[in-house]
Amino acid sequence: MKSILNFLLAFVLFAVANSSNGQTIAAKMKSVTPKHVECGFLNAASFGFSPDASGIDNTAALQRAVDQGGTIIVSQPGTYKTAGTVYIGSNTSLIFGNNTFLKKVDEKGTFSHVLINKGARTKTYDNHITVEGLQIIVNGMDVRKFEEAYGLHGQLAFFYIRDLRIDRFRCMDLGKAQYGIHVCTFEDIIINDVIIKGDKDGVHLGRGKRFTISNGIFQTYDDAVALNAHDYSVGNPELGWIEDGVVENCHDLRDGKNPVGYFCRILAGAWVDWRPGMEVQQSDAVVSNGRLYRVQAKPDGKIYKSVTRPTHENGSMMLDSINWGVVQTDVTYTAGVRNVVFRDIFLEKPRTGFSVHFDNDKYSRSYYPGAEIPKQEQLTFDNIRVIYDEPTVLFSIGTPVDVLTIANSSFKDSRILFHGNKAMPDYLKTKINIYGCAFNKKGPMNLLTNSVENKEIMLKTSSNTELYDDFSANVIPGKGKIIVESDLTGLK
């Protein structure tokens, strides 16, 4: 074997020595393989991206790297300063190695997004983007600049995106203004393996279809997950339906603060055609001239009378002391959530688990009087685990919903509440199917309470387990009607 190897080595040396152009094999390899290419990957370090560089230099270097497309790696451990937003385009994967961090710094002014897709500014779809291993240190730079899109304010943000994957995202210091991950107007996204802590929403979605949010650990003062089909005017850049998705294997951790927000906020809304003399307030939406417009004003509860029709094609315009902003050109009159499954959710923080509602306050009025009724559809909850002992509302329902399915879950002193805010005359009929659940409550329990006038609810329970002999369930119909078919003590 040794003699064969020696022969091959001698042959290679002979071929190199007699090469017609005098180049060595190594030189030839170097001439076709750029210094920054490693096995088909681009190393961001070769573009000047370094833990030792300034935030300004790092931002420019990482931008040069991602502009190449393909797969870009950040392999050297360390904390990388970044002094501006980096824009990532289609067919690009950005992969961060272990123990690498991006830290926001103010070297030339504050900025909102650490990373955003290139098409966000022009509402042009980007396709096939992966961000893996990104760890953001907000470092107190928690600002809403709205430079790319009004209402978009995630530290990691995507707007007009198809085929997106976010893996191993970490952010431990969210402020009160910006979400961790914000995605709106999307198709086919996967958000997997995230740990997000701080004051604002962890993962915040606007309109889109086909999504998975999985393997998440959240410790947020505001919502862990927000499915905001409707939203404040500053909360999402566009409005519409969120549909066909899964939220799975997520944990809502205690944070030592008074409970605010929800594990998941599910927002619906509806609006009307503009008409002369209509009264509007902050965040109200109208359809006019083939576009959707919204009132962009201070959240002071002021009511405006609209006399002049908004017709401008982009940006915002002041008409009758109303600042009308153009939202989108594909017109819809309703927004909500449908065909979404929540499974393997572990609720450690004693707050409302799931809130399905309208906004109706000085910040936003989700439902404009007289609009089409937006019925949220087919929401399924499987293996929802209530870990805390404090009495809370597990499901708070404040919009029309056709069916709620709750399976293989655990109830403690955690109830279902139907409520209204007099936004509409009819909240329609809702069917609830509860099966295979464990009721871990001593004594009587108000399982279902309704405060909506004329609300009709059909409650069916089967194959459930009661852990205590003195347990009994009760329903409170209020001024509505609850039809019960149940295997639970107290409801049989």
pLDDT of residue 9: 39
Task: Reply yes or no on whether the pLDDT at 228 is more than 60.
Answer: yes
Task: Reply yes or no on whether the pLDDT at 27 is more than 50.
Answer: no
What is the fold of 34-198? Pectate Lyase C-like (2.160.20)
pLDDT of residue 25: 30
Residue ranges of the domains in the chain? Answer: 34-198, 201-210+217-233+241-259+337-359+370-492, 272-328
The verdict on pTM exceeding 0.85 is: yes
Degrees to nearest 5, angle at CA 226 with 410 and 282:
135
What is the C-alpha to C-alpha distance for residues 442 and 433, in angstroms, rounded to an integer? 23
From 145-149, 218-222, 255-259, 304-308, the region with the lowest mean pLDDT: 255-259
pLDDT digits (tens, 9 = 90+) for 338-389: 999 999 999 999 999 999 999 989 999 999 999 999 999 999 999 999 999 9
Rg (CA), the chain: 27
Report which residue type is found at 130. T
Q: Closest Cα partner for 66 from 81, 44, 48, 83?
A: 44
Q: Which two structure tokens, joined as six digits, stand for 375?
A: 């019925």
DSSP SS3 for 472: strand
Task: Reply yes or no on whether the pLDDT at 71 is more than 80.
Answer: yes
Task: Reply yes or no on whether the pLDDT at 402 is more than 80.
Answer: yes
What is the C-alpha to C-alpha distance for residues 241 and 456, in angstroms, rounded to an integer? 25
C-alpha pair distances (Å), 455 with each of 241, 265, 405, 431, 458: 24, 22, 18, 11, 10
What is the C-alpha to C-alpha distance for residues 48 and 66, in angstroms, rounded to an integer? 12
Q: What number is the average pLDDT over the span 25-44?
A: 52
pLDDT digits (tens, 9 = 90+) for 102-134: 999 999 999 999 999 999 999 999 999 999 999
Q: Which two structure tokens, joined as six digits, stand for 279?
A: 């009264």
C-alpha pair distances (Å), 93 with each of 99, 164, 431: 18, 10, 44
Report which residue type is found at 466. E
What is the C-alpha to C-alpha distance for residues 369 and 229, in angstroms, rounded to an integer? 18
Q: Which residue has the higher pLDDT, 428 or 30?
A: 428
Task: Reply yes or no on whether the pLDDT at 149 is more than 70.
Answer: yes
Quickly state the pLDDT bin for 23 (edges 50, 70, 90).
very low
C-alpha pair distances (Å), 467 with each of 61, 204, 429, 439, 443: 60, 37, 31, 6, 10
Q: Which residue has the higher pLDDT, 104 or 260?
A: 104
Q: What is the DSSP string of 379-408?
A: EEEEEEEE---S-EEEEEE-S-BSEEEEES
Quickly state the pLDDT bin for 422 (edges 50, 70, 90).
confident
